[in-house]
Amino acid sequence: MSESVTAPVVGWRRWGAYLALTIVFALACGLLSWWQWSRRAEAVSEIARIEANYDADPRPIAEVLPDDVWDVDAEWTPVVLQGEYLAEDQVLVRNRVRNGSPGFEQLIPLLQDDGTVVIVDRGWLPLGDGEDALPDAVPTPPSGHVEVVARLRPSEPELPGRSAPDGQIPSIHVPTMLDDLDAATYESAYGALVSEDPAPAVAPLAAERPAEDEGPHLSYALQWIAFGVLAFVGLFWAWRRERRIAALPAEEQAAARAPRREHADADVEDAILDRLER
DSSP string for residues in 168-211:
EESS--HHHHHTT--SEE--SEEEEEEEEESPPSS-PBPPPPPP
DSSP class of residue 74 equals: G
Bridge-based pairing state of the strands 189-197 and 145-154: antiparallel
For 231, phi then psi, to 5°, come to -60, -40
pLDDT tens, position by position, 23-59: 999 999 999 999 999 999 999 999 999 999 999 999 9
Strands (E), 14-167: 59-60, 78-85, 91-98, 101-112, 116-126, 145-154
Domain at 56-197: CATH code:
2.40.50
Closest CA to 77 of 92, 91, 60: 60
Closest CA to 221 of 15, 36, 43: 36
Percentage above 70 pLDDT, the chain: 85
pLDDT tens, position by position, 90-147: 999 988 999 889 999 999 999 999 999 999 999 999 988 766 678 888 999 999 999 9
CB 112 within 8 A of CB 82: yes
Closest CA to 117 of 84, 155, 70, 91: 84
Torsion of CA 80, 72, 76, 186, to 10 degrees: 30
Q: For residues 112 and 146, what is the distance between their CA atoms, to the nearest angstrom?
A: 9
pLDDT of residue 247 exceeding 60: yes
